[in-house]
Amino acid sequence: MPSVMKTLFLNPPSFEKFDGGAGSRWPATREIESYWYPVWLAYPCGMLPGSRLLDAPPHGMTPEDAIRIAQDYEFVVLFTSTVGFFSDLRMARAMKDKKPGLKIAFVGPQVQIKPAESLLASSDIDFVVRGEFDHAVVEYAQGKPISEILNVSYIKDGKVVHNPPRPLLQTEELDALPFATDVYQHNLTVEKYNVPFLLHPYVSFYTARGCPALCTFCLWPQTLSGHAWRVRSVDSVAREFLQAHAMFPQAKEFFFDDDTFNIRKDRVLALCKEFKPVGFQWSCTSRVHSDYETLKAMADAGARLLIVGFSSSACPARPKIPSRRRSSTPRRSTARRFKSPWPMHIPGRNCTTKACAKVFSQRKQSRMQWATNFHTCNTRVFRASTWWTPSTGSTTSIISGRAWRGASFAILFGTRTSVSDCSMKPLIF
């Protein structure tokens, strides 16, 4: 085995317009084609000289393209998903048919939740990594015996072996990771990445990992990042912010894709102090507990959009949905923009709770529309709507509203029927 294996980090081709791989905390197909950055794969890629990050979906790569490119590498780290798992297994089989000596590791939520089942599903998987995989795959590429690598599961003598877990990365270790944006510059085309509620093109990266909230609809804290909140230092984040601003002059905004950006007030204020002189706008995921001083500092430092989560408008469902519990109404003078997803396919949601939210007939085909208008910060109005087809029991929901500069947006959630089946159109008002 060479000192460093030539490694391909792959977010594999998926279903058409499906954003559910290495960067999406809300796997979905949306009305507007959109993709998140494969941030998780960027960090280990930056630690291995000669490696490549291939983000197939936004770059229009086919399975045949990925299989062909993999032949130039000795080790493939494939970020799999639950919905794409068996497709990924077929791709791994095709890669090894072309190059039998190729080593393949699967990472991502699917193999963390079901490591043994995933390994037993195919002999083409050499090992999987449970949880944070930054150092595990790098150590393997550098020649460390698999039996000594923490967080790894593999098959030996017909039995599944689970190595001990690796402690979660803390501030000093997070700061030591390469900047994700360095990897983007050499491997990705930022113009390929679009999210309906963010300005295009945008660039996203993390300032922290983990979230203490128990929201059932958010993927990462329940899988890769965990519920322990761990942060990069203010200096590390500020340096990447400044460097990325110079590195991507075409970018219209940055997005901090932390599980929750504003958990601790003193850190937010310190970051805002560093961001303000740069004079560039940014958005983030957020709780709704921040006070006036924090929101004002964020707005003055360039904050444009806060992504917050509302669990349910139906009272019977609320106690069954662990989530962010407190809410507040920031003052009009500091409010910029809130985007508020209302998930539909969650514990406690049923036809009765939807009826509580005012269900009425919509069309002759017995489709029903659930609609709730709600105000955010006394400045914006959004609408959450769901079409339900009783014959199939399927539902499709959107959140729509007016974006910051007058454009409209519509986000598709919980899709079990196609957009054409529901004849959905964005609600613009």
Residue-range domains of the chain with CATH = 7-162 (3.40.50.280), 170-307 (no CATH), 341-429 (no CATH)
| Prior bond of 201 cis (ω within 30°) | yes
Q: 230 — phi, psi (to 5°)?
A: -130, 135
Residue 248 half-sphere exposure, CB side, CA atoms within 13 Å?
25
User: Angle of helix 39-47 relative to helix 134-141, nearest 10 degrees?
Assistant: 40
| pTM for the full predicted model | 0.76
Confidence class of residue 147 from pLDDT cuts 50, 70 and 90? very high
Q: Compute the mean pLDDT over every residue in the chain, rounded to the nearest whole number.
A: 76
The answer, yes or no, to whether residue 214 has pLDDT greater than 90, is no
C-beta of residue 1 within 8 angstroms of C-beta of residue 169: no
CB atoms within 10 A of CB 85: 18
Residue with tokens 């960090």: 43
Residue with tokens 């993927």: 219
Q: 210 — phi, psi (to 5°)?
A: 90, 160
**pLDDT higher at 93 or 1:** 93
Of 200, 198, 303, 181, residue with least CA distance to 247:
181
How high is the pLDDT of residue 396?
A: 34
CA distance 174 to 209: 9
How high is the pLDDT of residue 3?
A: 82
User: Angle of helix 180-187 relative to helix 39-47, nearest 10 degrees?
Assistant: 90
Please count the helices (runs of H) and the strands (runs of E) in the chain.
13, 21
The answer, yes or no, to whether residue 337 has pLDDT greater than 70, is no
Write out pLDDT tens, residues 9-43.
999 987 776 666 666 776 666 667 788 899 999 99
Write out pLDDT tens, residues 346-363.
455 455 444 443 333 333
Write out pLDDT tens, residues 364-395.
332 222 222 222 222 233 333 333 333 333 33
Of 324, 65, 67, residue with least CA distance to 218:
324
The answer, yes or no, to whether residue 237 has pLDDT greater than 80, is yes
Residue with tokens 């280990």: 44
Residue with tokens 């430092």: 301
C-beta of residue 408 within 8 angstroms of C-beta of residue 402: yes
Residue 154 half-sphere exposure, CB side, CA atoms within 13 Å?
19
